[in-house]
Amino acid sequence: MYGHSRFLTHRRTTRITYTTLRRHFSYDVDVATDRPVFQSKSEYAYDVVKRRILSEEIAPGGVVSQERIAGEIGMSTTPVREALKRLATEGLVTLGSYRDARVTELSASEARSLYEVRQSLDPLAARLAAERRRPGDVAAIDQALEHLNPLTGKADWEGLIAHREFHRAVYRGAHNQPLFDVLEGLWDKADRYRQVGLRAHPRTGKEIARVQYEHEALADALRCGDAAAAETMMLQHISNSLGRRAIDELADQDVAGS
């Protein structure tokens, strides 16, 4: 958790289910303010702003106003400023000279760099997961697969989370913490380029079926402990990915704008 002021009070609360960037879980919400009672203020502000960036509620290049965000979620600007500093370290915003920040622009260069790293490391994670997976890892992969549908159109928040949870379950199954940390750290940026790929090339029924097959074949290879098949299927999945499509789309935009 970031920050020290927590929403710990003797307030009337209600129990709800919440989806964050990390997991689905239930928690108590203050009825009067609609805020979680266990998160620090800066952590809550961080989740709110990051969700708006990744879902493109705030577009690339858009301004993130500290005062407006603070007013909308009912807190001072201090925790919002802390949240923006954290987002800046993750490369999602750039901090201005004053109180506001701006969402980082997208580029073909960054899309290509992300793709190159994932093209190498995702197949490695899949191979290691097939070799090292434990019963709990297989159960987590199967559970994530049940909630997974191919991303179509403009990906909704739940779709992005479900996609992330499936790949995260594979990464965890590799039982290599440095590898997990690198791939997990790339995910938020990669989600922004997935949105670009979806807008530029909406998936056809045939492509949706292909993506479903890739996910199911990958899960089957991991269940069976077939390292070669898992590695090959993950490489195919990354080569056909929305992130790969985003490279060409952004490069074309650069040419058109030059």
Mean pLDDT by runs of 10 across the 258 residues of the chain is: 36 41 41 55 94 92 94 94 95 86 96 97 98 98 92 75 95 98 94 89 86 96 98 97 92 68
Distance CA 229, CA 108 (A): 31
Strands (E), the chain: 13-19, 24-30, 63-64, 93-95, 101-103
Read off the pTM.
0.80
Closest CA to 234 of 246, 247, 248, 217: 217
Contact between 195 and 154 under an 8 Å Cβ cutoff? The reply is: yes
Note the pLDDT of residue 21.
46
Q: Give the residues across from 94 on adjacent strands.
A: 102
Phi then psi dihedrals of residue 241, to 5 deg:
-75, 165
Q: Which domains are assigned to the chain?
A: 13-103 (1.10.10.10), 108-257 (1.20.120.530)
Q: Rounded to whole angstroms, how far apart are CA atoms 53 and 48?
A: 9
CA distance 197 to 244: 8
Asked if residue 27 lies in contact with residue 16, where contact means CB atoms within 8 angstroms, the answer is: yes
Displacement of CA 179 from its chain's centroid (Å): 17
